[in-house]
């Protein structure tokens, strides 16, 4: 059985993976879903000093403290930066990297620079005008493709502002990260902010899967996502979704 470490993106906490984690555990897999410093139930630790290195260290220490090996490291959105950083630090402990609608960075890339220019400008403006210059306020969930009211009602009370420094810090990588195989999953039923990152993954020769759901796939398409992750963890067996384009229909809850 695989060991999954699921890393959330901006505004979220480890709880956002609950629907996926439950399905992975039903198949006997070990699952860890940490909350990064300064977010959600750890928001009391938030300060202007919380940056990308803080979050890379959060997950690196989890791997070390738990003695985890053969880890399938999954990062959503912003957490693609964290996945790359951890894999570079602990390549021998990581069996696979999975980028779920996430940043695919080179050494020296900041997340802000990988966003489309109009999105990066909006985020910087929001931080300046409504986040005291160092926080990114929670974004409208409908923009992210969360259409069902029950999903929005579950997510919104749990989301917290995100430290902008994590988006402006450059990711520092050595040569070790490339030792770890990588896969990209793009969520295609929304404005597709990460289309360019999927293209980067293709240029690197990574497998790229398309998931028919919005950006919050762990909430809106947990079964389809869990099936893909199980297939990625066991590459000799095809994903249970049966193809490169996975449907989120009838997989939101339950």
Phi-psi map region of 227: left, alpha, beta (phi>0 left; psi -120 to 50 alpha): alpha
| Cα 246 → chain centroid | 18
Any idea how long the chain is? Answer: 254
Q: Supply the DSSP symbol for 141.
A: G
Q: Which of 40, 43, 47, 77 is catalytic?
A: 77
Q: Supply the DSSP symbol for 8.
A: -
Other beta carbons less than 10 A from residue 65's beta carbon: 8
- What is d(CA 210, CA 190) in angstroms, rounded to the nearest whole number? 12
Whether 77 is catalytic is yes
- Residue 144 contacts residue 151 (beta carbons within 8 Å): no
- Residue 9 contacts residue 39 (beta carbons within 8 Å): no
> Which of 60, 54, 7, 56 has its CA nearest to residue 34?
7
- What is d(CA 122, CA 124) in angstroms, rounded to the nearest whole number? 6
Q: Which residues form the catalytic set?
A: 77
């Amino acid at each position: 059985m695989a060991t999954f470490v699921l890393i959330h993106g901006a505004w979220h906490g480890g709880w956002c993976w609950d629907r996926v984690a439950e399905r992975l555990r039903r198949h006997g897999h070990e699952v860890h879903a940490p909350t990064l410093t300064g977010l959600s139930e750890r928001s009391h630790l938030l300060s202007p000093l919380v940056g990308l290195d803080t979050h890379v260290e959060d997950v690196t220490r989890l791997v070390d403290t738990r003695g985890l090996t053969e880890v399938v490291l999954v990062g959503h959105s912003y957490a693609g930066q964290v996945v790359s950083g951890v894999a570079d630090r602990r390549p021998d402990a990581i069996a696979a990297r999975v980028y779920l609608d996430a940043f695919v960075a080179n050494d020296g890339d900041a997340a802000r620079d990988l966003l489309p220019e109009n999105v990066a400008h909006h985020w910087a403006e929001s931080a300046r005008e409504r986040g005291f210059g160092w926080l990114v306020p929670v974004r409208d969930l409908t923009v992210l493709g969360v259409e069902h009211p029950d999903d929005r009602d579950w997510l919104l009370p749990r989301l917290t502002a995100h430290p902008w420094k994590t988006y402006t810090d450059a990711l520092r990588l050595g040569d070790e990260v490339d030792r770890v195989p990588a896969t990209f999953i793009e969520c295609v039923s929304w404005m597709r902010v990460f289309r360019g990152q999927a293209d980067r993954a293709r240029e690197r020769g990574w497998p790229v899967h398309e998931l028919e759901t919005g950006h919050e796939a762990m909430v809106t398409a947990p079964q389809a996502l869990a099936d893909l992750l199980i297939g990625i963890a066991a590459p000799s067996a095809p994903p249970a979704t049966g193809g490169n384009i996975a449907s989120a229909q009838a997989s939101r809850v339950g």
